[in-house]
Structure 1
């Protein structure tokens, strides 16, 4: 098709590709539906890309059937693959009917499969309609009901649908208020054995991550010790990297609360995080692990757990200047906390022997942020008498 000249008015002004589903905006400009919907879906773009006039919603888009037929006829004439006739736009009443069917036992699985299919069929319009008509609320209620009735049928479908939807944070907060045991439901799911085990568990922690990020500080304060115990055990299950990252995000969101740090430490979080870093060093995972450890090492018990691990200081030191500025900052803060609050003779000698002191010296000479250099400098000055005879000093 590269050597065929395409009429200019067949080409979308955004994608610069031939239009498959042309729609005309109220400004009079025609675009391919997917392109203009993608343009408007970000929330930042509220104008017509060509005229710069206000264009607030894709409800202002009118299918251009005449142009579509012209394009299809041209494709046939030129021997180009004919673009298919697009499906009719999804109607909200259809989604409402599927929501009603969720509560009819014999129709529930069929309804979930249809909702999942609609979510993947059109990631912009369909998903937005699904959120607006209450699919998120319905699937959350279904998940909680399964938890209360201790049954797993339908859970994988509900989680798939919920995973697809981008529910606004305000609505998530409302859902958590109305379903106070939703977090318990999610943790319960992580403990269950189900078909398609890895995908279900991955979707579960991704949903948990989205809800935790929108949760209020009061809800985060009320998370139970069992919540963190299950998450820490979850690390050992051989799950996907996507699930590990989501779980680490959950821990990171919970860590600003001092109570949660204690709960994570008591669940053996520090040693498990070190073991994970030793087993699968990957840039983003390392950043998240060091970020969580940074919080946990602000507590005496967290530092004690890190020092009790034979590779604790070594693995933190090794990651400095090898991963990213964010990892540098977290790792230097961890070593600084250890030097300041747990600097026994044995610990200081270990920091010297595993290269932690050398790395702190290297930070002073590297292209690091001033705050990171200050932390490293303060730690070095604090124990300069002990380390003064070291070659690295």
Structure 2
């Protein structure tokens, strides 16, 4: 097949592929519809900007560039004999911006009995495509949706809350809007915790935990320091039921730096269920988060004690070291370092680490390389275990690793 040069005007500036459906954004630059939609949806925690000019977008409207579209189709037809694929005429997407505004206006003025229908229509529009989500990414829309969460009367209360939470979670509001929302609704986090506690719907629980995770990502220290026990009870329940485990772990990770929160988490069984999750999960990102949470909780004596009381507390490291990621390895080594350093003289710990294959994995880590600080910690762990094992039947360090 002859090599055909594609005119640069026909290429999408983001991906350098031939435009199949050229659209122009508010900055005047033309993109392929699918590519620019992916870009806009990826800006969920940042202001919406043009990927080429870096200018802020005054609107999210995508205007079809019919002239360029016809030129591209003509060029494809001209070179069809060289194997260039003909691009079908794209169907124009319906602009839902006006529809969203109309439904919101109707919902705000309607009696409670009519709001459920409005929410269902909004959810349907959001589910159509990525660009429709952007029409709800503003403070006014979010204030209306979250106001439904505070209502506690009516037969359809649970259904309305579930619909509102699902819409909120799906639209992925930027961080600036979430901060503004939390400023205007200081009780929002407490309300979401109450919803997680009271709802019987697993889907609603999962959506609420995901929204709560977004809020904890941007919230200040005040919202994280004074955390109620009930949240840790519900997060433990989520891990146990395997509902929204990643967001639950992310929340725990953001709360764990505060000492009181660590004690509350440990008291309510988080260590046990994180270990259970690690033993049964093969999801790399999930295991990374679980290791990071465990690392934080094992910074205190209560966390280390809970880890050692679990029957698989040491075995999980034998399974996961060198099988998750470099970050997972670093967190695992930090946990083992804290356990060994604070259990000097406990030969039972050393024997268990040998039996479940942890020591062998640590020795292997010295061979395969990695982070310098992590390697130093591995050496220190092996040195501590060797000191404990002297004069006992516990042979810890294989030959070749007795000197560092």
Report the TM-score, using the length of structure 1 for normalisation: 0.82
**Aligned pair in 2 of structure 1 residues 24, 281: CA closer, same or farther (>3 Å)?**
closer
Q: How does 1:296-375 map to 2 (within 5 A)?
A: 296-343=297-344, 344-375=346-377
* SS state at 1:145 partner: coil
Instruction: Give the match for residue 166 of structure 2.
Output: 160
| Cα distance in 2 between the residues matched to 1:88 and 1:268 | 49
Instruction: Give the match for residue 216 of structure 1.
Output: 220
Is the 2:47–2:174 contact (alpha carbons within 8 Å) kept by the matching residues of 1? no
Q: 1:202 offset after TM fit, Å?
A: 2.2
Instruction: Give the match for residue 187 of structure 1.
Output: 193
Structure 1: unaligned runs, 5 residues or longer: none
Q: 1:298 offset after TM fit, Å?
A: 0.8
* SS state at 1:153 partner: helix
* SS state at 1:22 partner: strand
Runs of 4+ in 1 over 6 A off after TM superposition: 7-10, 71-75, 147-150
Q: CA-to-partner distance for each residue in 1:29-50, whole Å, 9 max, x for gaps?
A: 544445445446646995574x
Structure 2: unaligned runs, 5 residues or longer: 81-85
Q: CA-to-partner distance for each residue in 1:66-98, whole Å, 9 max, x for gaps?
A: 5389589989xx997543243245137425414
**Aligned pair in 2 of structure 1 residues 262, 336: CA closer, same or farther (>3 Å)?**
same
Q: Does 1:100 align with 2:114?
A: no
Q: CA-to-partner distance for each residue in 1:81-123, whole Å, 9 max, x for gaps?
A: 543243245137425414515x621221111112222223342
| Cα distance in 1 between the residues matched to 2:30 and 2:330 | 49
| Cα distance in 1 between the residues matched to 2:292 and 2:154 | 35
RMSD after superposition? 3.7
Q: CA-to-partner distance for each residue in 1:49-69, whole Å, 9 max, x for gaps?
A: 4xxx56431549783575389
Is the 1:364–1:373 contact (alpha carbons within 8 Å) kept by the matching residues of 2? yes
Report the TM-score, using the length of structure 2 for normalisation: 0.80
| Cα distance in 2 between the residues matched to 1:228 and 1:355 | 32
Instruction: Give the match for residue 244 of structure 1.
Output: 245
